[in-house]
Amino acid sequence: MHGFSIQTAALITTVADAHWQIVSAADFNSDGEADLLWRNQATGENVLWQMNSFSIQTTAAITTVPDVNWQIVGTADFNRDATPDLVWRNQATGENVLWQMNSTGFQRTIFSPLYQTRIGRLQALLTWVVIAHPISSGVTMRLRKR
Ligand SMILES: [Ca+2]
Ligand SMILES: [Ca+2]
């Protein structure tokens, strides 16, 4: 590595079921610590681990999306409310959906999609990937061929 070195490494909780995959690491509750978003590739369940450095602070289930063709392909704050939002892409149909996320409650934070907006149907362009780009007035998206 050039200019980078590992400062600390620590084991976090083992998840034996390999269907669970980490699909995003972002600070979903704005406490300055990155959190881990998991998606089960078999059941479509989605779970957020709110992290405190290397330990799990709390876990919260968010809306299950049973159709596993839907995959989270991007995480960025699209509406500038300091909460990361989720970009979903259906690998079978090419549909793309943005979930603007919010957190409510004080001690027990609940994450849910605020609303869903269909952001484009690109059935013929399944080989394209979505890239989020921060710009001065917010975040825009563009597609790049794989
Ligand atoms: Ca956090
Ligand atoms: Ca947001």
Q: How far is the CA of 80 from the centre of ligand 2 (A)?
A: 5
Q: Given this model, what pLDDT does residue 48 score?
A: 93
Q: How far does the centroid of ligand 1 lie from the alpha carbon of residue 93, in Å? A: 33
Neighbours of ion ligand 2 (CB under 5 A): 77, 79, 81, 83, 85
With 60 as the cut, is the pLDDT of residue 128 above it? Answer: no
Tell me the pLDDT band of 63, cut-offs 50, 70 and 90.
Answer: confident
| E-only strand ranges, 31-108 | 35-40, 46-52, 55-62, 70-76, 85-90, 95-104
Torsion sign, CA atoms 95, 120, 115, 33: positive
As given in the structure block, the two tokens for residue 27 are 């600070």
Residue 31 token pair: 């406490």
- Contact of 49 with 14, CB cutoff 8 Å: no
Which numbered ligand comes closest to the C-alpha of 82?
Answer: 2
- CA–centroid distance, 126 to ligand 1, in Å, is 33
CA distance 65 to 15: 20
For residue 61, report the distance from its CA to the centre of ligand 1, in Å: 15
